[in-house]
Structure 1
Amino acid sequence: MYKVKREFKVKVKGEVMVMVVGSVIDLPDEAAKMFLEQGKIEPVDNLAERMAIMGENTHPDEVLPYVTGFNSLVIPFASPARYHYWQGGQSPCDTLKELGRCDLLDKYRHVSGN
């Protein structure tokens, strides 16, 4: 798993895709090497952060974003598309504002580019 640090474009199966800052992408290590060297992505090594990003610790009925006890924002894949920052939805900072957790904004500013 890698987090996009700088926006870039890549051709996938003949289609140009924009990798948005803050997006989390899953790439084979070999494919990620060039983007790592260019400073466009960084590995997501923290298990708690990875779980929050992937929604691995969400119940199947969870559909709205929430903040865990360890202060990580969880955006379930089953949530409305407007929360999917990795697909052009609102930024994590905007979601934190909705949740009334502005105290965590600094933690996520680098993710959203805000």
Structure 2
Amino acid sequence: MMYKVLREFKVRVKGEIVVMAVDCIVDLPEVAAKMFIQQGKIEKVFEPVDDLSERMAIMGENCSPDEIVPYVTDYGSLVIPFNSPARYHYWKAGQSPCDTLKELGRCDLLDKYRDITGGRPRGHIEN
């Protein structure tokens, strides 16, 4: 879940102290965020919408049959449409999500799609 920092605070992440600056957007598990919300340090950036048609109207997403190339949402999520060219289908031994992000010029999101165990992108299938 994405949260906006309202007041600067420090937190320990993987043994290091990290300063959360005001107005930064951070991705935290809901359980961890609960305490910071109660302390008035962060707030939710948006409420997720379950209804796809409502979400599409809010986001202005184009889901027409012609929209078949992968894209990145405003919230930094890679979307690979099912009707996109097979080379993007990592679940069918296509290129990795990281390669797709590079094509889209979104190298800033690569770490989000890497597996922490070996540098392989999430969803990577061995040939």
Greater RCO structure (CA 8 Å; 6+ sep): 1
Q: Higher helix fraction: Structure 1 or Structure 2?
A: 1
Q: Which category of TM-score, normalised to the shorter sequence, fits these structures? A: 0.3 to 0.5
Q: Name the TM-score, length of structure 1 as normaliser.
A: 0.47
